[in-house]
Amino acid sequence: MTRNTTTRPTPTAVTAKSGDKIVLEALARELLSVCMATLKTYGLSAGKLVELAAGASAERTARKSAFSAVLAEAECLANLLNKWVENPNYRDATGRPAVLPLLKGKGCSFTALAQEFFPGWSVADVVAFGTKTHVVEKVGRDKVAMINSTVLFTGNASLILAHLIRSVRRLFSTGDFNRRARSTLLEGWPDRTSIVAVSDEDFSEFVKFIRPQVSDWAEMSNRWLFQRSQSTKSRTRRKREAGLQIFVFRD
């Protein structure tokens, strides 16, 4: 459901009166066009995209998920950071995540964390990955400091694209459920949009205003889901991942 105070329908070659097949084909073409245009911004040529699309269409068996593999590395890094933050042995005298030596010694080290969460990786590669995702930095030649406890995808094309694929799959899943639901607000999964035309300055202010609210909603959702998943009744039930995803956009 969309709340829109500015836009109005404009004449197009295809309308709701054109017939289901014509409308669906036109929308599918536009969706493919949007995907192709977006992927070109990642450096993929039109020819390569046509080749990849043809290959994907011809596949008869599901290929191992590339986006899951890419994001799995980010999740391993997040787990490493969580231990660094939560484990008292990895904190300094003030209770904050300590600056860790690279090499193993008598106390805790970054190497120990790297080997636990990235088996098979070199320590140098884990440091490079953490640096690229803006969560760690080298301190001198033999120490590593945490600069952010959240893995940031910003500036990393592979992680952003993997995240987009996962987001699109989730959106398609919600859309697929809602198109099969009966015409009642309580039957479908919530899907809401707020959109108003604003200036660049107002948009910047909006981002500052809404950021903490988005974080609060995500945290509240995660807390509720986690507590419910740990309840006695839920432990023996079959489970699938579910949640809430929120993002700010600008057309």
pLDDT in tens, 84-139: 988 889 999 998 999 999 887 667 899 999 999 999 999 999 999 999 888 999 99
Residues 102 and 128 occupy one common structural domain: yes
Are residues 54 and 79 both part of a single domain?
no
Same domain? 59 vs 72: no
Tally of domains within the chain:
3
| Tens-place pLDDT, residues 148-168 | 887 878 777 888 899 899 999
Return the higher-pLDDT residue of 73 and 60: 73
CA distance 93 to 121: 30
Are 170 and 180 contained in the same domain? Answer: yes
pLDDT digits (tens, 9 = 90+) for 38-53: 999 999 999 999 999 9
- Do residue 48 and residue 121 come from a single domain? no
Write the CA distances from 207 to 153, 195, 203, 215, integer angstroms: 18, 13, 6, 12
d(CA 104, CA 111): 6
Give the residue, 13 or 136, on which the prediction is more confident. 136
The predicted model scores a pTM of 0.68
Does residue 73 sit in the same domain as residue 19?
no
Q: Range of 155's domain?
A: 65-189
If asked whether residues 9 and 99 sit together in one domain, one would say no
Residues 6+ apart with CB under 8 A from 31: none
Q: For 211-232, give the DSSP string.
A: HHHHHHHHHHHHHHHHHHHTST
Residues 119 and 169 in one domain: yes
Indicate whether 127 and 157 sit together in one domain.
yes
